[in-house]
Amino acid sequence: MHDIKHWIDGAYAAGTSDRHSEVFNPATGEVQARVPLATAAEIDAAVDRAAEAQVGWAATNPQRRARVMMKFGALIQRDMDKLAEAISREHGKTLPDAKGDVQRGLEVVEVCMGAPHMLKGEAMTDGGPGIDLYSMRQPLGVVAGITPFNFPAMIPLWKMAPAIVSGNAMILKPSERTPTCSLLLAELLKEAGLPDGVLQVVHGDKEAVDAILDNETVQAVGFVGSTPIAQYIYGRAATNGKRAQCFGGAKNHMIIMPDADLDKAADALVGSGYGAAGERCMAISVAVPVGEETADRLTEKLIPRIEKLKVGPYTGGDDVDYGPLITGAAKERVEGLISSGIDQGAEALADGRGFSLQGYENGFFLGPTFFDRVTPDMDIYREEIFGPVLSQVRMGSYEDALDLVMKNQYGNGTAIFTRDGDAARDFAARVNVGMVGINFPIPVPLSYFTFGGWKKSAFGDLNQYGPDAFRFYTRTKTVTARWFSGIKDGGEFHFKAMD
């Protein structure tokens, strides 16, 4: 076991508090490290140093800031295997999944290489007699990112890359369950030429979060996690006059129409429902077949696919489909929800409780679970499970299926599988969900678009990455300029105001 440190002013720094959190190896259940939990005083000191460093960084022109991102992206590619290994060791996800985690973050870094274009303002001459107008995008100052355990590279990169390239300094508080990847990224940014202090990585729990939210120097906060905490952070940040974009939970549905290619639909459901052990906010956790015949045929195709899933540690080879849950408490919670589904009348056609893996008996593994004939009043439908559990809710018509999605409290992602273009277009236009897939199960937009949900999946006006990120991390200043005309007379200028 080793002690993890903070990253302060371009170097590792030991915590000063006597409080720590344990970092587990989810495959074995063993504690592999301790991470310090920062005090409010440590947060304030990190913010003060970031504010000092931000002044010079903001004065660096956008093209030079973009060059740091170019070098940073190259270094991420160089160290892809090292970063993925760190993620898998602390999170438990397979190495291909971990590399995908890094890759999706890298794509946002690549967009940030074009920051000079994204940071351009607008201009207009002759808005009035002799009057010109132009706008500037200027950094906010010190901003903060509070990121979750399930994507230790992707979401920190979604936060830090656009914030930093826009001229801000960032306080990053990664999940205390998966802290190492953020520290490795901080090392790479320093190697890429980022001045010391512009990025501070500080570990902590609620005390650290509240200190960030209450610090007057911090101008904006970005968060990804559960809905109750997202709502709490958004409310406290707004009360303190900060910008906030807070992304919460999800309950993502996939409608399967009678004309759909059911083999492709079944493959999509298994991959999106059980990948990463279901610990992702864009997982499809609810299958919604339209019509009893569609449901029966889909079920026949799902069961053998589910039974073939291989669960194991990330060291188990490329054929491992997913790994353990993040902690023993997470496993117990999911098992409790599975039990409630059975008690409330759902048909458990696959039950992952009691799964054991030889040599890893103390790991936080859970087998795949599949429920049929789930109803909207059941706990397994109402709650975000965040585990390898897929629920099937049968609907009699397209309109009933659409209504089910529309009435759900979450609005992160959704999908429809169909050969009917009219039905697909109607679904995309009417559904009240932020990200929509058509024959595409996990509709995470590419990095030059933007990511964000609706309803209780998101709090705040602007989304993550893409153009919205640059809007979020900058303020617009508009200048109205009027110049007076000069008339040369005998070698001298005489000025007069223009009408």
Catalytic residues: 281
Quick check: helix, strand or coil at residue 241? coil
Residues 6+ apart with CB under 8 A from 54: 139, 141, 142, 167, 168, 169, 197, 198
Do the Cβ atoms of 55 and 390 come closer than 8 Å? no
Distance, CA of 245 to CA of 460 (rounded, Å):
5
Backbone CA torsion sign across 408, 414, 420, 421: positive
Residue 351: CB atoms within 10 A of its CB come to: 18
Please give the full DSSP string across 345-375, using - where no structure is assigned: T-EEEE--TT---TT-TTS-----EEEES--
DSSP state, residue 283: -
Do the Cβ atoms of 213 and 222 come closer than 8 Å? no
Residue 491: CB atoms within 10 A of its CB come to: 5
Place of tokens 């500080």: 202
Longest dimension (CA), the chain: 99
Compute the residue count for the chain.
499
Do the Cβ atoms of 451 and 445 come closer than 8 Å? yes
> Where do the H-state alpha helices sit in 119-261?
154-165, 180-192, 206-214, 227-239
